Structure 1
């Protein structure tokens, strides 16, 4: 309370402004009062590193992140060289992005550039490095408090994988009780007419929903499950924190209950590593996602909110904060009905989608900043797609490879990474690369850094439960409560692109409320003030309120 009174007195001294900023032309006689008035609410709050499953994840498409040996391909040593950018090991240093979780897209041997058709589940693709390089990556991440999860492809396999080539050979010999049992190999009339398959010998086919190069595992087979247990143990024993499971949507088919299979796999992994974290890719409707949550899996990506056609962009462009908050709250509530321990996994775009900057940059930097604070401040684990934090755009919107271009650390020293189908020429982000944006206090990158710092200072944001919305009779203003271990925060977003909002805060909302944190899109020098129960929130900005301690 004393802190609040002090802030209010300081605000009075500068003429009652509710959104304040330093002015270098002011006389020195008023400088002390102004400095107090513009005090950053997060400056003296200690951030705490995560020691549980709640993390700020960063998706790295390994081919495109950082090339350590100048062969035009990103690699594991390249990632190691940039770890201090992601996390320097000190949550209070303020010198890094603050990432404490990394998702690596497939790293196992494959002839494709994307590596989702795995030829060997027990090794590293030579383009990316060696198992020794991987061990070093895990070691360095552990030093910094970063958990690494790897993409694990259990729905399909490479047609060049020896297990599959042996199965094809055995089927031609009429042998069906060997390697054929690993895969969805059946007589032709077993499959529905629209099911993609590979034709084999003697009237047999193998299901292949993605391509002929990706035949599908038989998830019911005891042989398959024994192999998967070995694969999981191999990587968990090597230090990974868990798995991103590709294509969970296809786990269920004519003969497989996907929920039963996923429960088996999740439980199997927990026996190996009790705190294993698992997130599934399931781009389908809510009812199917709810069903798969019954397996106990920690997270599934919330696709409906992501990409240019998703609900976040829709609500940001239409400036409807109430709708955005309500939709996330209702979605999270539904998923928790199936799994009370569900950790929502929100994101803006990923390696299969047009980058979010392609949609929002033309609207203005404030739109990109609002999108970041929106999805990252809901409870759960947000997933940042590499380069999103500096506004990288795809060179075109028609091919997956265009969404996977090189990370840009310095626009004065552009990378020479080659990306299949796109080449090695990329547009510079409007705000520059990492180096340039670190030097710009109002850059998108520094906004992301501030968001993550605020999250590390306030465990209620990631770990809390959304207990309700707060209405301010204004569709632009979306607000919700999150509670964790008896502590409650009120998160308020102003979706208006131009208008500042004057909001009344009462003790019925938050008793003896103080500004715990703010994110002002216009300028990092400006901060939100709560005075006499009145809060003024600038356009496209966010404030977090808490009871005075």
Structure 2
């Protein structure tokens, strides 16, 4: 067991680019995270007050879900691209958050929602006044005849949108055209064939990067900048977007939400530095519960990485267990502590840039609908918890179902301390902390063990995950691969090398050899 890795975070300095050795990223729903003023709503000052917690955990970047003004609780329908939602605070509060985060070696990534606006956005309000209004062409409009001729009146439900009927009429409008809104009628899609729209969005992005100081963007609905039938246009758009952002802030980080198979994700790496790996997320959920690699994760990743590298050899695979659109890993695994520790083991040793969804480190629960997977963070038992958000009454993550952070911090065997030890070990290791390290097959075949090699330059590690409860002996093949190797991480504390170079891997344990 590695006991001394928690003494140093080994985070990147502010001068380092956000690619390469960037550590672990942490996704925050501000409304649910920490309430600093007692109004029941999580806010930016609350996030600032918990930066020491995040630094201590070992986090190197935070991704804030949308913080722009919006009529919705989730804020994915923006009404002002230059403002801060009043219930979250002010622009000065956000600048202070960024300044304090940077002092702790933590980057700040902003959720930039540019596929669509709110229908309450002043642009769309103007667009609905007449076809001659200058803002009308800022959105996607078609007559019913045009829609029918293109056979696009309906669409198939996809993992990222349940909308089957994306065309909507404006009640009382002086024209009959319908507007396109992929997600729902309250989120009309912007028209990126209009140079004025591109110019305005680029201007807004540059504002946050240069005048406010964010380090990059998570790009919502990156696959849907153009409507489904024009998807190839997205690739050119993101190339241009990347160049525009890079022109004002070299090294600005971009990570896209592109929820589809690898061959269709790959072209997005021409403009975006990272993309989320939803296939891996679903595969991990499957194999942890079944306690065996039924998904063929390493062959899948080797294939996907080859596909990505053909487009961009510097691609960053953004990996996660779950995020704000998926039932929480805690509920997927029925709160099983051993399985949740295995999940952490996998997330923090597989190649790529890992993302933790707030509360995963304490085993928060939640299942669809979305509100139930965005419940308040449990800092302490309720009677002592002055920072707990009250934006909604929790259905899944309560004191009765989830041990609050304060109690987990005092328990060396808690899920929180398991995450903390793993993150600090990852941060301290030049191979595991290299987003651009190479994945290699291990040659090891065992029904309950997931094994792989990661290589960075001249260094490599062999990683062994026992997915099952029973300890097992792993034959390292070829035999010479075991020679000279030593155990540098043992999450359970009872792993050992045995005769012939084999390794005894404890049940639910992760062993790293170098």
Give the TM-score of the pair, scaled to structure 1: 0.83
The verdict on how the C-alpha distance between 1:488 and 1:255 changes in structure 2, with shifts beyond 3 A counting, is closer
Within 5 Å, give how 1:515-526 maps onto structure 2: 515-520=487-492, 526=493
1:292 — aligned with what? 268
What secondary structure, in the 3-state scheme, does the structure 1 residue paired with 2:444 have?
coil
Match of 2:195 among 219, 222, 225: 222
Match of 1:529 among 481, 492, 496: 496
1:71 — aligned with what? 39
Of 424-433 and 48-57, the range deviating more from structure 2? 424-433
The verdict on how the C-alpha distance between 1:392 and 1:465 changes in structure 2, with shifts beyond 3 A counting, is same
Post-superposition Cα deviations, 1:42-74, rounded to whole Å, max 9, x if no partner, equal 559975322332331110001100001111110
Of 491-500 and 216-225, the range deviating more from structure 2? 491-500
The verdict on how the C-alpha distance between 1:466 and 1:305 changes in structure 2, with shifts beyond 3 A counting, is same
The whole-number CA distance in structure 1 between the counterparts of 2:124 and 2:456 is: 49
Match of 1:278 among 229, 254, 273: 254
Match of 1:539 among 485, 507, 513: 507
Match of 2:142 among 180, 186, 189: 186
Match of 2:403 among 432, 435, 459: 432
The verdict on how the C-alpha distance between 1:46 and 1:160 changes in structure 2, with shifts beyond 3 A counting, is closer
What secondary structure, in the 3-state scheme, does the structure 2 residue paired with 1:209 have?
coil
**Quick check: which has more Rg, 1 or 2?**
1
Residue 427 (structure 2) pairs with residue 456 (structure 1): yes
2:369 — aligned with what? 399
Structure 2 unaligned residues grouped into runs of 5+: 155-164
Give the TM-score of the pair, scaled to structure 2: 0.89
The whole-number CA distance in structure 2 between the counterparts of 1:303 and 1:460 is: 23
The verdict on how the C-alpha distance between 1:47 and 1:71 changes in structure 2, with shifts beyond 3 A counting, is closer
Name the count of aligned residue pairs: 483
Residues 218 and 254, structure 2, Cα contact 8 Å, conserved in 1: yes
Q: Would you identify which runs of 4 or more consecutive aligned residues in structure 1 move more than 4 Å?
A: 41-47, 422-426, 504-507
Residue 397 (structure 2) pairs with residue 441 (structure 1): no
Match of 1:169 among 110, 129, 152: 129
1:335 — aligned with what? 308
The whole-number CA distance in structure 1 between the counterparts of 2:53 and 2:214 is: 20
Query: Displacement, 1:495?
Result: 1.4
Structure 1 unaligned residues grouped into runs of 5+: 1-38, 88-95, 521-525
Post-superposition Cα deviations, 1:92-119, rounded to whole Å, max 9, x if no partner, equal xxxx210011000000001111001100
Query: Displacement, 1:326?
Result: 2.9
1:250 — aligned with what? 224
Query: Displacement, 1:497?
Result: 2.1
The verdict on how the C-alpha distance between 1:508 and 1:424 changes in structure 2, with shifts beyond 3 A counting, is closer
Post-superposition Cα deviations, 1:70-102, rounded to whole Å, max 9, x if no partner, equal 111100001111111100xxxxxxxx2100110
Query: Displacement, 1:499?
Result: 2.8
1:241 — aligned with what? 215
Within 5 Å, give how 1:379-528 maps onto structure 2: 379-394=351-366, 397-412=367-382, 413-414=384-385, 417-419=389-391, 422=393, 426-428=397-399, 430=401, 432-463=403-434, 464-504=436-476, 508-509=480-481, 511-520=483-492, 526-528=493-495
